[in-house]
Amino acid sequence: MNPGTILLLFVFAYFIGLLVISYFTSRNSDNQSFFIGNKKSKWWLVAFGMIGTSLSGVTFISVPGTVGKFLGGENPFGGFEYYMMVIGFFIGYFIVAGILLPLYYKMNLTSIYTYLGKRFNVEAHKIGSVFFIISRAIGATARLYLVVNILQIFLLENLGVPFWVTAFVLLLMILLYTFEGGVKTIVITDTLQTSFMIISLFACIVYILSNLNLSFGEAFTILEQKQYTHFINTDVNSKTFFLKTILGGMFITIAMTGLDQEMMQKNISVDNLKNSKKNMLTFAGTLLFVNLAFLFLGGLLYLFAMQHGADYGQISTMVDGKEVITNTFGFKDSAGQIKNIMGDDLFPALSLQGHFPMALSVIFIIGLISALFPSADGALTAVTSSYCVDLLNLNEDQQKTEKQKKHLRMKVHLTFTVIFFVLIMVFKAINDKSIVYLIMEIAGYTYGPLLGLFAFGILTKYQITKKYSILAVTILAPVVTYLINYLVTNNTDYRIGVELIILNGFLTFIGLWLVRSKNVKNIVNT
C-alpha cells in the first residue's frame, strides 16, 4: 500500500475518534453548552487542552525550524531566542489570572466584550467583538493555510488531490465535531489532541537521539558547539532583542489570551474562579517546558539532517537587476543543487519524505493534525460565540425560543466555516508565505485597540460619551502605528518587533484619554 494512503487512513481513523467524542459530549446540548460549556469544565482538562490551542500547527512546524535557520551576524542561527518570548508569555499569564479572570467571573460573562459595553457603551461592546472576529478569522485561517499547504505539498499532491479538496475536507471535519457541542466538546477533544501532539514531540526526540546514538546531554553539547542554543540576543536594534521580546511576549499574552474570546471562552467554562486560576497557571508552567522541548527538537532535526547528508548553501538570484543571496539548507538533488528545507519545511520534509520510518511518519502526521485542530476548532467556535452574543444579542433576545436561537447559532457557525474556507483559498491564490505572515502581522494590529480599550476601562474611571469617538480612536491607532513602524524601518537601523502591540495599545489609550468625558462614575470593576 502507498505510504501516503496509509497516513491518510490513520488521519481518517483519528477523525472518527473525534466524531465519537463529539457525539457523546453534544447530547442534550444547548447554546450555553456551546458558548461556555455550562460552566462545568474541569480546570485540569482546560489547562491541558489550551496547550494545543496556544501552540497551534504553526508552532509545531515553525518553532523547531527557527533553531538552525541561518540569519548571519553575531549569532548566525536563530537558536533558542524564541524562548525569551515564552518567558514573556509566562509573566503575562500571571497578569491575566490576577486581573482579568476575577473581572470576568465577577461579571458572570459569556462574552468578555460584554465588559466593554457595561464599562463604556454599546459602541465599545460591538467594536471589541468586531476587532476580535476580524483578528481571529485572519489569524486562524493563516495558520490553517500553512498546515493545509504542508499536507498538500508533502502528502496529498502526489495522490492527485486538489488543494481546495484538502482545505474543504479539513474544515468539514472541524465543523462536524464542533457543530453541536461547541466548547463542551472542544474541552475534551483539545485534551486528546494535545496528548497526541506531545506524544509526537517526544517520540521524535527519542527516535533522533537513538538514531544519532546520543544522550540528551551529548546532544545538547553538540548543539551548543554549533551555536544553536543561545537564548539571548543583545542587539538592541534587532527584532528579537531579548528585553523587548520578553516585554512584547507579556503584552501579547495579555491581549491575545486575556482579551481573546477564544482563549477566555475556555477559561470561563470552568466552574469557579479559583479553579480557573489553577487552569491558567498550570497551563503557563507547562508551556515553559513544552516550548523548550520543541526548541530542543529543532536542534536535533538539523543534526539529524546533517548526519544524513544535508548541508547549508546559498542561492544567487537576480531581482530588479540586483543580486539577491538566499541562504539555504537541505539535501542535494541529482544536479547537485540544494533543495531548501530550512525553516518551516524541515520537520515535514524529514517526516514525510522517507527520512523517518513509517511509524514515526504516522506519529508526525497525527501530531500535526492534533496541533492544527485545537487552534482551528477553538477559533471557529469563538467567532461564532462572539457574533451571536455580542452582535446579535442572542442571550438577551426574548422573542426567539431556545430552539430558534440554536438554529440561528448553527447557521452562523456554518457561515463562518464558509468564510474560513474562502480566506484559505485567498491565501492559496497569493501563494506566498511572506504574505501570509504579513497578514498575520496585520491581524496582530487588531489586538492593540483591544489592549488600549480594556486598559483604559480597568485603569481609569472616565467615561467616553461622544458618539463614534471610540470608533475613531480604534481605527486611527493602528493606522498611526503602521506609519510609525514604516518610518522607523525605512529611516533607522531599529526594527520594531513584538513590541508593536504595545505601541498600538498605548496610542489607543492616549486617544481615549483625549476624547474622555470629565465625568466619572462607579464602574463594574471597582
C-alpha cell at 17: 475518534
Angle between helix 183-211 and 3-25 (nearest 10): 150
In this prediction, residue 36 carries a pLDDT of 47
Angle of CA points 118, 106, 108, to nearest 5°: 70
Mean local confidence (pLDDT), 118-129: 90
pLDDT band at 483 (very low <50, low <70, confident <90, very high): very high
Residue 521 maps to a domain: no
Query: 140-154 pLDDT, tens per residue?
Result: 887 788 778 878 877
Residue 526 maps to a domain: no
pLDDT band at 303 (very low <50, low <70, confident <90, very high): very high
In the numeric block, the cell 548543539 is attached to 223
In this prediction, residue 308 carries a pLDDT of 87
Question: Amino acid identity, residue 136?
Answer: R
> How far, in Å, are 485, 486, 512 from residue 472 at the CA level?
20, 21, 10
**How far apart are alpha carbons 433 and 317 in whole angstroms?**
18
Mean local confidence (pLDDT), 414-436: 80
Residue 525 maps to a domain: no
Angle between helix 122-151 and 358-386 (nearest 10): 160
Lowest mean pLDDT among 42-51, 68-77, 93-102: 42-51
**Strands across the sheet with 338-340, in order?**
311-319, 322-332, 338-340
**How far apart are alpha carbons 299 and 313 in whole angstroms?**
18
Residue 440 clears pLDDT 60, i.e. is over it:
no
pTM over 0.75: yes
Phi, psi (degrees; rounded to nearest 5) at 313: -160, -175
3-state helix vs strand vs coil in the chain, percent to 5: 70, 5, 25
Residue 402 maps to a domain: no
CATH for 429 = 1.20.1730.10
Query: 334-370 pLDDT, tens per residue?
Result: 777 788 888 778 888 888 887 888 888 888 888 877 7
> Pairing mode, if any, of strands 311-319 and 322-332?
antiparallel
Angle of CA points 409, 413, 414, to nearest 5°: 120
Residue 57 maps to a domain: yes
- Count Cα neighbours of 439 within 13 Å in the Cβ-side half-sphere: 23
Question: Amino acid identity, residue 504?
Answer: N
pLDDT band at 256 (very low <50, low <70, confident <90, very high): confident
The domain tally of the chain equals: 1
Residue 103 maps to a domain: yes
Kindly report the number of other CB atoms within 10 A of residue 345's CB atom.
Answer: 20
Query: 174-212 pLDDT, tens per residue?
Result: 777 666 544 556 666 667 777 788 888 889 999 999 999
**How far apart are alpha carbons 500 and 109 in whole angstroms?**
29
**Domain that includes residue 328, residue range:** 3-299+308-394+408-514
> How far, in Å, are 81, 101, 410 from residue 94 at the CA level?
22, 10, 35
Residue 501 clears pLDDT 70, i.e. is over it:
yes
Phi, psi (degrees; rounded to nearest 5) at 180: -95, -55
Residue 401 maps to a domain: no
**How far apart are alpha carbons 302 and 144 in whole angstroms?**
25
Residue 317 maps to a domain: yes
Give the largest Cα separation in the chain, rounded.
75
**How far apart are alpha carbons 299 and 228 in whole angstroms?**
7
Q: Which of 14, 92, 487, 42 is nearest to 250 (CA)?
A: 92
Kindly report the number of other CB atoms within 10 A of residue 176's CB atom.
Answer: 13
